Every structure is written in structure tokens, then in C-alpha cells.
Structure 1
Amino acid sequence: MSRTEKATTPAASSSAGGAGGAGGGNGSGGNGERIPRPAGGPGRGGPFAGMNIPAEKAMRFGPSAKRLLGELHPERLWLTLVVALAVVSVTFSVIGPRLLGEGTNLIFAGVVSRDLPAGVSKAELLAQLRASGENQRADMLSAMTLTPGTGIDFTALSTVLLWALALYVLASAFMWMQAYILNGIVQRTVYRLRERIEAKINRLPLRYFDSVQRGELLSRVTNDVDNVSQSLQQSISQAVTSLLTVLGVLVMMFLLSPTLALIALVTIPLTLVTTALIAKRSQKLFVAQWKHTGELNGQIEETYTGHALVKVFGRQREVEETFRQKNTELYQASFGAQFVSGLIMPAMTFIGNLVYVGIAVVGGLQVAIGAMQLGDVQAFIQYSRQFTQPLAQLGSMANLLQSGVASAERVFDLLDTEEQLSDPDLALTPEVTRGRLEFEDVSFSYSPDKPLISSLNLVAEPGQTVAIVGPTGAGKTTLVNLMMRFYELDGGRITLDGVDVTVMARHELRSRMGMVLQDTWLFGGTIRDNIAYGRPSATEAEILEAAKATFVDRFVHSLPDGYDTVLDDEGSNVSAGEKQLLTIARAFLARPSVLILDEATSSVDTRTEVLVQKAMSALRSDRTSFVIAHRLSTIRDADLILVMEAGQIVEQGTHASLLAVGGAYAALYAAQFAAPVAEV
């Protein structure tokens, strides 16, 4: 479903605070101007808009994983400490089973020695057994440290067990310190990543927000970043500990029995092959899972934003069906990703059990022939568990790692998005701010193959009120977006007080302009805070002056807490007209030299419109004003009226002169006022 939409201007971009949402509007909205969306990009639409997010490319696992690890570079010294702590912890943990095996040897040797005749040496005992034909028993006892006639040496046993306890306690302590430091590393890394994302969003052009769905963007900024954080936290710890454990255990196993160690090594190729086969299939499923998560978030966000519209048009069933479809797609992708990747751990456990059986059988034979002691086999079995468990963890970590890298790739795609042109190093500013705007041979188009504005010339003198009228899609809001440098020109230039706007810093340019849009934007806070958003340094007296001049003061006193009344983020506890007056008061307080009013009264009642018109008249005094209007009755007193069609100014003059000409403006005026009913 292909859709286009109007580009509205984010209020926060102008010091005036203005109104309106960020990024794209809903459908035509406002003056109905439509902006072609870049090819391949999803868009934010109304509650019934199609979800045309393109299919995600195959995950670039290697480069993305390498780049994700590169985010940890500033923490390399702390990471070195983490590895050192892990080495000490794993070393102590690996020595533990060997000590416990020695304890088992002491117990077994004590039990056997107790039943042997006292006063006989071990050599004599073995000779007697071989002479009587008990060669197998002699072979088994030959590997043991025996003292015939004595029992268990509890002193030596307690010493061994205390050493084992101490080592396990120290291993846990070092592991805790490693986890604590690693948590700080990951959180600082994600903190920097969020800062970069926030800075990136502020550097992205308005064109980007017109081409991406709001819920999809929010999903990348929140869900994907959180998933990256969890993946780093768990995968780094598991990877370091598991790799060191495998190496340490492998060394101990070869010291105990090279034969059994070779049996255990069979685990490694089986693990690698099994993990690779499963991971290869689950990669695409994890990419799909996070893509569908973004789609579902976008659908939910736009549906709740337009909840009233959904009810009005009775489209609940369509919305529910769209949700059900997206939810089913997410369920299937998530189920597939988790199920397939979840096969890794059972597969690793199965391989480990096979190796365990082999070690138990061969180890028993080794004890029987006297090649090993019982405690050594016990220690080896513990090592085999310690060996297969980290291998299984490394295999299952592929599940987490793939999900984290898939999310990281989506975040990196956002960070790699082309930014707006940077401000010049030596930005210029007008020596005197008067508010004179001039368009010189301006050309612009949203799509190269569809020209919109070409060779446009216009001069707005200081103090003038310039009204812009025309049919839907004529280019009225585009003209405003070009003034504010929300889009860059294809040709020509725009000057403010003689200075090209492209050589000015954007914040300097926009600090001289104020906007009031038809879509009001208020944030969660007091009425006082919302007004002061236009100029945070304003005094209480200046805030009250702006409120009185724009008739806000008339309704504030009817509210329970006056100027301290807290508005929610939707501003639902004040009426539409009152919200509009608040945005005008915000712009009034900012004291801009150029004021832009984009359909600021189109959604209010007649009585409120009178108040708004009075407020805007006060706001327009002593400054250059651009008024975009469909209601021609609101711009009769404008100093200059521009009539636009297809991106061109086809007529300009005063209200009276344009009516006298009898051209496009007269036709628009007649359509509104000449007859109450017209045949279509």
C-alpha cells in the first residue's frame, strides 16, 4: 500500500516551541500538502496505514559483531582486569576437583588399608597377592597409597577439604568482582551508545522522519538497545569464563590421563559442527524477529495515537486484524528463532552424556588395571562435566549473541543514516536582525523526477504580514520548511537580513524564527513550563505578559492549580482551542523576528478563533509574519497575499487588489463565500 504524507515541523526545532509532532504527519493534514516518500522506506500513517516496511537484508553477522565489540574499546583496561579476575577464578575452580579427588583417594585408601593385615609393607602385600593368583587386585592396589592395618587419615583429609573449600570461596569472590566490573563496562558502553543515538537523531534531516515509521524508530532506540545491553552483559561473561574453563580443564585432564583426555576432545568438533548447523538456520529467524517487533510497535503506536479516529470510522475490526496479523508474524518468527536456537543446549547435553559414558567405562578399566586411582577418575568425571558444560554454554550463547548482533545491526543502520549537511565552521549571522526574507531563484523537489518549486522569487520586508494560500499540494508548507532549513534547496538561495541561510548555524537561524502549527504539541508539565519552553530564561513577569497578550490568562484561572496545572503529554485536560492559545503564548514569549503560522486556527471553534486571531495579531506586530491559511477570512488584512499553484506563485497582492483582478485568488474566495451550496 503506497502512501504519501505531509511533512510537519517538529516544534522542538525552533526556539519558539511552536506546535506539531515530530517527523511526518498523518496523511494530508493541515494544508494537505503531500511529500513523496523515498523509495523503499516505510512511512508513518493513519490508524489504517499499511505496514510497508521492506524486508530486512541478510544479517551481516561478522562485520556487525566486530563493530559491536569495537564499542568496548574505551573499556579495554577494565576488560583486561575482567580477564585477569576470570583467570584467577577459573584456576581456583579447576584445581578444586583435583583436591576433591585426592580426598576420595585418602578415604578409599584408608578403607582398604583398614582391612589389610598390619605390619605388612605394600610391596610384600602385592607380592603375596600375585603369588596367590590375584593379579587384578594387585594391579588395582598398586596405584594406591596404602598403610596396611590403619584407617582413614582424617588429619590429611581435613586439610585437603579445607584447601578445597578455600579455593571455591576465593573463586566465587573473584567471579563476583568480575561480574561487578563487567556490569559497569557494559552499562557505560550502552550509555555512550544511547548518547550517540540521541545526538544522531538530532542531526538527521526531516526527510528521514518522513520516511520511517515512528514505532519502528522507537523500537530501535529502546528495544534493540536494551537487547544489545543484555547480550553484551551475558555473552562477554560466558565467553571469557567458558573459554578459560575449557583451557584449564583440558590441561588438568591431560595431566590426569591423556587417554581419557582424548576421549573428551571428541566433544569439540561435535560441538562446533552442531552449533554451526543450528546457528546458521537461526540467524535469519532472529533478524525477522526484531524486524517484526519494530513493525508491531509501529502498528500499536499509530493505532493508539489515532484511537478516536478508529472509533469514529468503526474500523476496530480492521485494526484488530492488522494487529493479529503482525502479532502472528512476530510469534512465528520468535518461536522459530527461540526453538531452533534452543536446540543447541539439548544437543550439547546429549554429546556430553555420550562422552561421560565413555569416560566412565574407560576410567573404570583404568582403575581396574592400576593405571589410575579411583579419586583421579572421580576428578576426571568432574572435569568432563566442567569441560562439556562451558562448551554447551558457548553453543547456547550463540542464541543470545545472534539476537544481540541482529539488534546491534539495526542500531548501526540508524547511526549510519546519512545526516543533514553540517553547519559551516565559520557560521555567519546578520549584524542587525530585522526579519527581511528573500527567496532568490529557489528550486526544490522531494523527488528528482517530480519538480515542485522552480525559479521562485519572493521578498518579505520587515514587519510585513505575508499570507500564503492555494490548493492542496501547492507547496505552501514546503516554502516554510525551506525557510527553516528542514530541507536543503536544489537551487537558488534564501537570505535572512542579507545573509544566506546556508552559511548560518541552524540553531541561530531557527532562534530567529517562531512557528505555530495547526497540530499543537504540549509536553507533560505545568502550563507555566509549557509556555516557558519558548524561552527558558524568561522571568515570571514575562511569562504572565505573554499569557495575557495571547488570552491564555483568561482560562488559566478557571483551572484548579492555575499556571501550576500539570498537563499530560497529550494535553487532554485542556481543550483544543486552549492548547492552541498555549502554543501561541509560547511563540510570543520567544520574541522571534520571523513568525510562521501554519493553519493555526483550522481546528478551533468560531469563538476561540476570534481569540486566537487577536492573539496572533498581537504576536505579528513589529515582526515579519508568514501565515498559511485555508480560511481566507483570516488573512484579509495581510500586507501581501501569495497565491501558489504547483509550487509557483501565480498571483500576489493585497486582498482587494487580488479580488479586483478576478484571477485564482478571486476563484478561491468565491468558492468559500459566494454561494452556500455548490454543485460538484
Structure 2
Amino acid sequence: MSVTGVQGEEREHYTRAESRQIRRRSMRLLGSLLHPLRPTLWLTVIAVMLSSAAQVAGPAIIAYGIDTGIPALIGQNWWPAALSGAAYVVTGLVGAFLIAVYIRLSARISQAVLIDLRTRVFLHTQKLSLEFHESYTSGRIISRQTSDLDAIRELMDEGLTLLVRGLMYMVFTAVMLIILDWPSGVVLLIALVPLGILTRWFQLRSQQLFRRSRVASARLIVQFVETMTGIRAVQAFRKERRNEREFGALVEDYRDVNAKVLGLFAVFNPGLALIGNTAVAATIVLGGFRVVDGSLQVGVLLAAVLYTKRFFDPMEDLAMFYNGYQSAASALEKISGVLEEEPSVPDPERPVDLWNANGRVRFDGVEFAYTKDRVVLPRFDLDIPAGQTIALVGSTGAGKSTLAKLIARFYDPSDGAVTLDELDLRTLHPKDLRRAIVMVTQEAYLFSGSVADNIALGKPDASFDEVVAAAKAVGAHEFIEGLPNGYDTDVNKRGGRVSAGQRQLISFARAFLANPAVLILDEATSSLDIPSERLVQEGLTKLLADRTAIIIAHRLSTVAIADRVLVMEHGRIVEDGSPAELIGGDGRFAALHAAWRDSLV
């Protein structure tokens, strides 16, 4: 993972090389989003240019009406005055119509970009490996889909229109002023010097502050989401006061950053007004002398004053655009960082099909390390025949769950190969792999929806009778029937309407309905009470009869249904045999079993 990628994205300062790399990455993403919209973009630009030209024509028309129309009226010729009035109305109508056109077009572009970007983030984060999701908190993912996309939406909805329209308006205004009266144009050009200095000062100071603002906002969201997600632990361990202090510090930091941003505007806006008013005053004074000596007409002077004043009008909008641009640019940097991440468990380029797996699993010279200094499996060999049920036993950190994750291909080995029916898992088609191997973890996650929907997740096209049969197989049918609406009961997020043990039973039914060749149970019975566990074991005995199963359990009662027990320590198998053989011996498992039996007494 690169320093400018996900791990480094919450930093406030980058080296120049990193900043250039991030900008290029963001521009590539933006270019890919806008590429399909090129025709609409060009239409929008043309509409903005024509609208700006129509609006800029106003003062020149007024000058014509004053300098030509009024003298003509004195001579009873009303055509020049009527022509200037009609032209002013027509340009106003054309400008208004084109404004409506480019607002619609820009809205279409904005929504298309946001839909594309939102979909990309969702689909890409789904594809990323478990390693990414274990290091990238849910709060940060939510921040990418909420506040960051909102910042981009605000820029796309209004900011880009303000930028293009403002720049076009300023360019056309300056050109018309120079054409109409070049000395007044020189005054405007001189005013651009302090304007450029002020703008550059604002840009340099605001860039860092806006990035800090986005980082502070992201930290607020992460803190809030993680507190609400873990509210049970927060209340159980009386963490409210500590959270209050931490959240309060984050709020204070966010407020301080925004106060400094507002302080920049408190200098920029008055400075902008001062430069603009000075330029207008200079135009009036210099133009007034020229009107007196007859070298400048009154209408032209009025138009020059209007052009000079109007030239500075978009500057405040451009400053607001820069505000939104900085927020959106920072958000785009973070989103592009996520989209640049590659799965550590990539899909095979030429997948091998395995329609009907037998279930033989082998570890051939497997080594695995989460990091270079954290080796979990130091050279590991294991053969699990098809249809055999094995139990993995050992102390915490022995490598049991890592072994299970390698079989499920949540991770790939650092060296060696894990095979299913003599085929390397890295070569199997993802659909075949997910159909052949199913893992039930300690956290029995239920999605919002009915109980039946959650069970059918293992086989989306399953009939209701199949769902009920799966529930009966694991002993879940009775409690499901007792729910308010039976199988149609909405479990709510995280299964709020059912207990932890009931959630686990539903997850068992889900896995059983999937009918995998290899079933992995990672501490899956830890949430069950003794009667429920015995009921599930009856279902497990029936279900696991003809399939390969790997059971990880601290409860040795669950181990009793296994054909073979593997005792692991420090990533190695130290004992291997049937439950009866190991219990009758004097090894590690016999001591564990004796201690467990004594605890029951």
C-alpha cells in the first residue's frame, strides 16, 4: 500500500512528489468520469460562452443608446434609441435562456458523474480483499460515500458553472473594455497586479487549510460512526465520558480550522472590494478629464465604468468556487486513493472451472505472514481427505483462524499453495470457489430483511420449502416459528429482533442451504447455549456426513463430532488424531479435555 494511498490519506502534509502523484491520480479519475460526457460538456461550454457574451454586450449597447440614440432623438430620429433598447432586451432574453440551458446541462453532467463515482466506490470496495477492510475502518468508508461525495456534488452542481461563467464573463468584459476604450482597459490591467497578488496569497493559505478541514471532517465522521456502531461496548465499559472528550477535541479542531478559513475570506473579500472600487474611481477620474476635453463620449465613459465594476463581480464567486474546489479536490484525492487499491487476493486471469467439487483440501509447503515480522504459518503441510470433518484446537493466536481464511481464500499464502481437489485456489473461478467453500464466522451478520431472506442468501433461488428444510436441519425452525411473523419477521440491522444464539442458527441455516463441498465453522457455536449447541450438533452430524468440514472451537463438546482433531501451536500441528485417540493419550489435547471435563463438574 503506497504512502499516498489509503494508509497516508489522513495526513495533512505531503512532499511535492507525493502531491504531484496524488494530483495526477485524481485527474486521471476525473478524466475517466468526464470522458463519456464530452458532447454534453462542449454544449455546456458553448452555452456559457454565448450567455456571457450576451450579458457583456449590455454596457456597450447602453453607450450606443446614450451617445447615438439621445442625439438622434433630439433630431426626431427615434430609430437608434429604439434599436438600442430592443437590442438590450434581446440580449437579456438570450442570456436568460442560455443560463437555463447550461444549468440543465451542468446538472445532467453532475448527476452522471456522481452516479458513476458512487457506483465505482461501492463496487470496488466490495471487490477489495479482507486485508483492506480489516485495516480501513467502516467510518472512513462511510466518509468516502457521504461527506466526500457531497463535496464533489456541491462543486459539480454549482462550482464549475460559477468558474466557467465567471472566467468567460471576465475575459469578455476585459476584451470589450479594451475595444471600447483602451485607456480604461489599461487602468483595468494595472488593477490586475494587486488583484493577482491578493488571489495568490489567498490560494496558498487556503489550500492547506481546506485540506485540514477535510481531514478534520473525516475524523469527526469516523469517531461518530465507530461510537454508534460499538454503542454496546461504549455503554458496557462506561466510555461515554472519554468519547465526549475525544469528540469534543475533534469538534474544536474542526471549528478552529473553519474559523481560520473564514479569516482568509475576511481579508480577501474586503481587499477585492478595495481593488475594484479603486479601479472604478480611477476610471471615473481619468475618463472625466477626457470627457471635459472632448476626447471621450459620456456613454463610453459610463460603459467603461460599468465594465470595470462588473469585471470584479465574479471574483467573489470564484473565491467561493475555490473554497468548494479545495474541499472537492481533497475528497477526490481520498476517493481516488480507495479506487487505486488493488485486491490482495486477485481473481485469476484464466480461471479454471470446478463445477462439482469433492472437497479434498491440501496445504503444500504453505507459508503465511500478515507482515514481514509477523509470520503465522512457518512452512505448513496438511492433507484433508474429501468428506472428513476435522477440528482445529489450540490457544489463541495459534493460527487456526488464519488456516481457515486461507482455505476460504480470504488471503493467499506468502509461499506454497492451498488446493481443492488438486487445483490451486488461486486458479479457480471465483463463482466456483464461493460455491464450493462456505465459512461461518463467530459474528453471525444478518442483513435487513426477513428471516427467510437471510437464510436464502446461501441460495438465492431456493424455494420456501428449501429454506424451511435448512432451518429444521440446524434446529432453527422452532424458534423462527415463534417469532411475530415467523419466517417473514424482519430481523432489522444486525439482527436486532433475535438473540445472538438465534442469529448464529440462522447463519447456519444459510450455510447449509448453500450446500458447499467444504464447510468452515470458525468459533460458530460460541454464541449458543448448551441446549442449543446440542440441537445444532445433531443437525451438524447429519449435514456434515458427506462433506469436508473444518471446525474451529474452544468448546471441546463441539469437537466430539469430528473425525480428526488437529492441535495447533505457533502455526504448527503438534497433535493429529481422532478425538478418542488424543483423549486417551497424555498430550496437549488430553490435558485440555481433562480441564474442560473438570469445569463441567
Shorter-chain TM-score: which interval?
A: over 0.9
TM-score of the pair, normalised by structure 1: 0.82
Cα pair 2:369 2:414 within 8 Å, conserved = yes
CA distance in 2, matches of 1:496, 1:594: 9
CA distance in 1, matches of 2:260, 2:171: 33
| Partner SS, residue 416 of structure 2 | strand
Q: Which one of 548, 571, 592 corresponds to residue 495 of structure 2?
A: 571
Aligned pairs for 1:126-137 (under 5 A) are none
CA distance in 2, matches of 1:95, 1:334: 39
Deviation of 1:622 after TM superposition, in Å, equals: 1.6
- 1 or 2 for the larger relative contact order (CA 8 Å, sep ≥6)? 1
Instruction: Say if 1:587 and 1:283 are closer, same or farther in 2 by CA, change over 3 A.
Output: same
Find the counterpart in structure 1 of residue 123 from structure 2.
199
Find the counterpart in structure 2 of residue 550 from structure 1.
474
Instruction: Say if 1:388 and 1:321 are closer, same or farther in 2 by CA, change over 3 A.
Output: same
Deviation of 1:428 after TM superposition, in Å, equals: 1.5
Larger mean Cα displacement after TM superposition, 537-546 or 65-74? 65-74
Find the counterpart in structure 2 of residue 63 from structure 1.
24
Find the counterpart in structure 1 of residue 346 from structure 2.
422
Deviation of 1:394 after TM superposition, in Å, equals: 2.9
Deviation of 1:313 after TM superposition, in Å, equals: 1.7
Number of matched pairs = 596
Larger mean Cα displacement after TM superposition, 77-86 or 394-403? 394-403
1:539-589 Cα deviation digits (max 9, x unpaired): 222112212222332122222222222221121111112211111111111
Deviation of 1:599 after TM superposition, in Å, equals: 1.0
| Partner SS, residue 458 of structure 2 | coil
Instruction: Say if 1:346 and 1:75 are closer, same or farther in 2 by CA, change over 3 A.
Output: farther
Aligned pairs for 1:263-662 (under 5 A) are 263-340=187-264, 343-430=267-354, 432-662=356-586
Instruction: Say if 1:431 and 1:512 are closer, same or farther in 2 by CA, change over 3 A.
Output: closer
Q: Aligned AA for 2:28? A: R
TM-score of the pair, normalised by structure 2: 0.93
| Partner SS, residue 604 of structure 1 | coil
| Partner SS, residue 226 of structure 1 | helix
| Partner SS, residue 375 of structure 2 | coil
Q: Does 1:75 align with 2:37?
A: yes
CA distance in 2, matches of 1:165, 1:41: 54
Structure 1 stretches of at least 4 aligned residues deviating more than 6 Å after TM superposition: 37-43
Larger mean Cα displacement after TM superposition, 77-86 or 385-394? 385-394
Q: Aligned AA for 2:118? A: R
Cα pair 1:532 1:589 within 8 Å, conserved = yes
CA distance in 1, matches of 2:583, 2:542: 27
CA distance in 1, matches of 2:317, 2:240: 46
Instruction: Say if 1:147 and 1:316 are closer, same or farther in 2 by CA, change over 3 A.
Output: closer
CA distance in 2, matches of 1:187, 1:343: 35
1:352-396 Cα deviation digits (max 9, x unpaired): 111122122222223222222322222222212221122443344
Q: Does 1:256 align with 2:217?
A: no
Q: Aligned AA for 2:492? A: D
> Which protein shows a greater Rg?
1
Instruction: Say if 1:425 and 1:308 are closer, same or farther in 2 by CA, change over 3 A.
Output: closer
Instruction: Say if 1:303 and 1:451 are closer, same or farther in 2 by CA, change over 3 A.
Output: same
Instruction: Say if 1:445 and 1:55 are closer, same or farther in 2 by CA, change over 3 A.
Output: farther
CA distance in 2, matches of 1:169, 1:53: 48
CA distance in 2, matches of 1:157, 1:382: 19
Q: Does 1:97 align with 2:54?
A: no
CA distance in 2, matches of 1:227, 1:76: 22
Instruction: Say if 1:74 and 1:633 are closer, same or farther in 2 by CA, change over 3 A.
Output: same
Instruction: Say if 1:65 and 1:646 are closer, same or farther in 2 by CA, change over 3 A.
Output: closer
| Partner SS, residue 488 of structure 1 | coil
CA distance in 2, matches of 1:53, 1:409: 10
CA distance in 2, matches of 1:295, 1:319: 13
Find the counterpart in structure 2 of residue 187 from structure 1.
111
| Partner SS, residue 420 of structure 1 | coil
Instruction: Say if 1:55 and 1:480 are closer, same or farther in 2 by CA, change over 3 A.
Output: farther
CA distance in 1, matches of 2:250, 2:543: 47
Instruction: Say if 1:276 and 1:255 are closer, same or farther in 2 by CA, change over 3 A.
Output: same
Larger mean Cα displacement after TM superposition, 522-531 or 199-208? 199-208
Cα pair 2:541 2:561 within 8 Å, conserved = no
Q: Which runs of 5+ in 2 are unaligned?
A: none
Q: Aligned AA for 2:24? A: P
More helix by percentage: 2
1:318-359 Cα deviation digits (max 9, x unpaired): 111111122222222233234425643333222111112212
1:204-243 Cα deviation digits (max 9, x unpaired): 2221122222211221232212212322333321222122
Q: Aligned AA for 1:219? A: S
Deviation of 1:405 after TM superposition, in Å, equals: 0.9
| Partner SS, residue 446 of structure 1 | strand
Find the counterpart in structure 1 of residue 99 from structure 2.
175
CA distance in 1, matches of 2:560, 2:459: 31
Instruction: Say if 1:54 and 1:206 are closer, same or farther in 2 by CA, change over 3 A.
Output: farther
Percent identity over paired residues: 33
